[in-house]
Chains A and B, each alone.
Chain A
């Protein structure tokens, strides 16, 4: 079990505060959604948690330890990272992409192979596709490989940055369901970035709505829908056509 905590984190990028005094705790084993329009600072928060950026103020803690104090390899064992379209390496096969973190950790071939089989089963990827290069895979298949890679070292936490955004609707629905299942079964601590209300609703026990780097509101979907902290929250929720299950909450709120 793992916790991810932001304490009053501010990060300035290009002269403006991409993240402004954000505090947030993702409890162990829960899924938290960062919701917001593009440019609202969601991805920057993930990059701060991954140690790719250093905060200008405040601190980011993973399992209670400030991120800069963790060694890269150590952090990699604690956190898996999935991004839009997978960011797979074009020069490596699906299998080599997925097992790269294990290779960096110096795992034995048999241990790596076992782990890969387990992940193939978990993500439902056709094993025949493992020998293919990313350019020979569909978007959904690439994203599954990306997920396998993030899970390779069995980290307690997963950070996902718009993992489904680039997929066509069918692949997206398919993978959405699968991801939800994976998160539940594995009991990972998950921080997921999206601008898609449906995903926020589907995954998020807790939701943080961001605008211009600031937290506008934190709470469950019901909290956001029923007691919007300011008109922006209500506007944001209404702007996206609500599926029936959400509409009930929206109606209640209205």
Chain B
């Protein structure tokens, strides 16, 4: 799996720089269309979102979904044990300790309730959830489908757009996070069924039925490799199909480097058609259009629904001897959705099947990619409806659900980071040699961009909450480990030595003396981790992890600022709330004597 990110604002068609899988469609991971600069609103790192092109191989499924159990671990460092003694008057009564213990118990209960609520929040809301991969064509088709479903009104409709490549979208479908999304027959055969020979629709349906999946009728276009020439070249030489090229050795061609090498690209094509073009060169896909229109080359490879095709008035040569695999667009759905909402499914068939040919799809793509229109607009134009009001993509209820998801992401990953980070910090403080290695390690983790870290998790943990939680936990480790280490290694030496002189065993020194003394600094590290994680968790949506990022991703995809803000503002508010919450927690967890002293110092 790879991740590419294109710096700068202009989104060039760089999709061929990113490849995965074995079919042309699998190689395509298109970026989102260029959003106007004003759309990079919040100070969230999600501002980089549209430049993410995540793709993935066939990673193993999530191995473990039980990270939540970490939450139940009680990680409070300040030894809650109270000193022996029963008499109140002698000052031995454990009043402060007991109150502290009660606070911690309360905190644990709140955390447990929160966890349960969050898990419940994940239970899918009833209705039709339409998904899409993260490239223009998939967004447009999904938006059209969503609008059709909304018009039928049989079920509430939710949009779960931008689910990366096939791996993520398919995982989302099988795990029940979405009900339906646009897919290509070739991809279904190669990637989902792992059998490229299955391309006929009936075969696909037969093979998908046991998996609980259904396929609609073909939408009417294919998105596959194709060869294109200028219109004047086509008419001058009478070129209609690829086989016509065999007669013209003198034509020059520029192909994408990937296409040049793939067996289902140029080598196979040349052999299949007996082509003998004398002058074939490799060229980045983004440049081939310009090379073609400027007359420097005559033939380039394209995707059959590229928006550029209609804009530049190019002629696509027919694959008249059927070399390129069948990549017909269809809607792929869960059987449960088909059965629960039959009218919606039927309407999708009526509205989409046979309605969009390659040229029409290329025009729709061009409307978004070249004219900069929103998916919603393009979709409603296609359906012949009035343009939709903006911000129809979120509601109060949805926001509540996303809030719980976001809290879950932050809460669990923070709990894991604390459960791992505090012991690691303790270990580092006791072994200076190890400390260097450890701090370097967590430091390096922090230098990985959060988006990249998230995408690294996909091959390991699939998509959804698990990879998001793992990445977020790793990301939150640094402040926890570093502060724990720093606090413990800068304790007043005399206070530490005294514990040893008094005959405290090592764990007693740690639990009764060192950790309580270090608690302010350790909590500060946890607080930093919490606030950072609230922000970083918005990126979880890119791997289908849910949370406020879902709205941000959708808003970015739809060029819809209100929807972006609907995700960004609550995320910012939650970060502030986390900060405030920790002030309260400080009061509950930091020993009273320490607070008093720090207050005295600050006076």
Contacts and interface: CB of A to CB of B under 8 A. Distances in A.
B84 interface: yes
A231 to B, nearest CB: 35
A249 interface: no
Contacts of B505: 72-73, 104
A134 interface: yes
A117 interface: yes
Contact of B91 (A91, A103, A127): A127
Contacts of B434: none
A92 interface: yes
A47 B512 CA distance: 22
B498 A75 contact: no
A131 B90 CA distance: 8
A120 B92 CA distance: 12
Contacts of A96: 83, 92
Contact of B84 (A75, A91, A112, A133): A112
B123 interface: no
Given A72-B503, A91-B516, A94-B91, A135 B495 contact: no
A127 B501 contact: no
A90 interface: yes
A27 interface: no
Interface in B545-603: 591-594, 596-597, 600
Interface string B178-220: 0000000000000000000000000000000000000000000
B593 A93 contact: yes
Interface string B489-505: 00000110111111111
Contacts of A107: 84
B570 to A, nearest CB: 37
A100 B512 contact: yes
A133 B592 contact: yes
Interface size class of B (residues with CB under 8 A): 35 or more
Contact of B92 (A47, A113, A133): A113
B498 A83 contact: yes
Contacts of A92: 83, 591, 593
Contacts of B91: 93-95, 127, 129-132
A113 B90 CA distance: 8
Nearest to B505: A104
B87 interface: yes
Contact of A50 (B83, B93, B501, B508): B501
Contacts of B593: 89-93, 133-135
A95 B83 contact: yes
B502 A83 contact: no
Nearest to A72: B503
A52 B86 contact: no
B80 to A, nearest CB: 13
A73 B517 CA distance: 22
B386 interface: no
A105 interface: yes
Contacts of B594: 90-91
Interface string B501-523: 11111001000110011010000
Given A116-B90, A135-B596, A83 B83 contact: no
Chain A contact patch, size range: 35 or more
A87 B85 contact: no
Contacts of B597: 90, 133, 135
A81 B498 contact: yes
B297 to A, nearest CB: 76
Interface string A86-127: 010111111110011111110111101100110010000001
Contacts of A153: 503
B498 A117 contact: no
A79 B502 CA distance: 9
A77 interface: yes
A81 B501 CA distance: 7
B504 A100 contact: yes
Contacts of B516: 89, 91
A109 B84 contact: yes
A56 interface: no
B140 to A, nearest CB: 62
Given A87-B495, A91-B517, A104 B504 contact: yes
Nearest to A153: B503
A211 B78 CA distance: 43
Contact of B494 (A83, A135, A136): A83
Contacts of B86: 109-110, 113
B84 A102 contact: yes
A76 interface: yes
Interface of B: 78, 83-87, 89-93, 95-96, 494-495, 497-505, 508, 512-513, 516-517, 519, 591-594, 596-597, 600
Pick the 9 closest A-B CB pairs, nearest first. A130-B91, A76-B503, A91-B591, A133-B593, A95-B91, A109-B84, A131-B91, A73-B503, A101-B502
